[in-house]
Amino acid sequence: MPGLHHIRQIDDAMSFETKQIKEKALKEGVPIIKDEGLAFLLNWIKEKGCKDILELGTAVGYSAIQMAGLDEDIHIDTLEKVKEMYDQAIRNIAEEGLSGQIDVHFGAIEDYATDRMYDLIFVDAAKAQYGRYMEQFLPNLKKDGAMIFDNTVFHGLIWDVENIGSRNLRNLVRKIIKFREFVHNDDRFDIMMFDNIGDGILVLTWRKSGT
């Protein structure tokens, strides 16, 4: 589990340009992965030796840049449907010299199809669609691969859902709760939930037969 030490390491290892991307994103309210979640993700990639990565939700390319920066053999496909975000991601990735490792695909996740198999599928787009994204991309998950979902406690709201004033937000949080329950009870998978890391991280792997 990443502690302060790992998070400090991430900041220390970050180039001046990457820090600028992070600061600009935070200033402009672009939702990017929290430091703790990122530390977890990067640790996972290093420990498991992930090389082929699919990311759902690019925003301005911050997490993709961090992942690709770990090893020049890592390749990332990342999907983004908002043109301004896509354009900014392309610029940021080029400035970091990582265009050869990261392919940003413009369009809706729902419309994306590929035969490529991945060691890691990082899911960081519309939270209400997590179940749908999971089913859509399970065929692309290698036998020893993992799907990692961010924001699975949604600012702690999953524990206080009845007190959420906005109906839309309540419905969204209920969908996250339902997703958590669904994958927990699905015997295709082994699940790890790290509710106290960042905004909540859920890791799904294929259940090995006999367990």
Ligand X SMILES: C[S@@+](CC[C@H](N)C(=O)[O-])C[C@H]1O[C@@H](n2cnc3c(N)ncnc32)[C@H](O)[C@@H]1O
Which residues are at the interface with ligand X (CB under 6 A)? 31-33, 57, 59, 62-63, 79-82, 85, 108-110, 124-126
Shortest Cβ distance from residue 209 to ligand X (Å)? Answer: 33
174: CB partners within 8 A, 6+ apart: 161
DSSP reduced 3-state for 60? coil
Do β-strands 201-206 and 141-150 pair in parallel, antiparallel, or remain unpaired? Answer: antiparallel
State the residue number with the nearest CB to ligand X.
57
d(CA 71, CA 94) in angstroms, rounded, equals 17
Q: Please say which residue, 119 or 150, places its beta carbon nearer to ligand X.
A: 150
Q: Please say which residue, 50 or 125, places its beta carbon nearer to ligand X.
A: 125
Shortest Cβ distance from residue 111 to ligand X (Å)? Answer: 8
Helix (H) or strand (E) holding 130: helix 130-137
Shortest Cβ distance from residue 55 to ligand X (Å)? Answer: 6
Shortest Cβ distance from residue 87 to ligand X (Å)? Answer: 12
Q: Please say which residue, 52 or 86, places its beta carbon nearer to ligand X.
A: 86
Q: Please say which residue, 155 or 207, places its beta carbon nearer to ligand X.
A: 155
Do β-strands 75-80 and 52-56 pair in parallel, antiparallel, or remain unpaired? Answer: parallel
Query: Rounded to the nearest 10 degrees, what angle do helices 16-27 and 83-95 cross at?
Result: 160
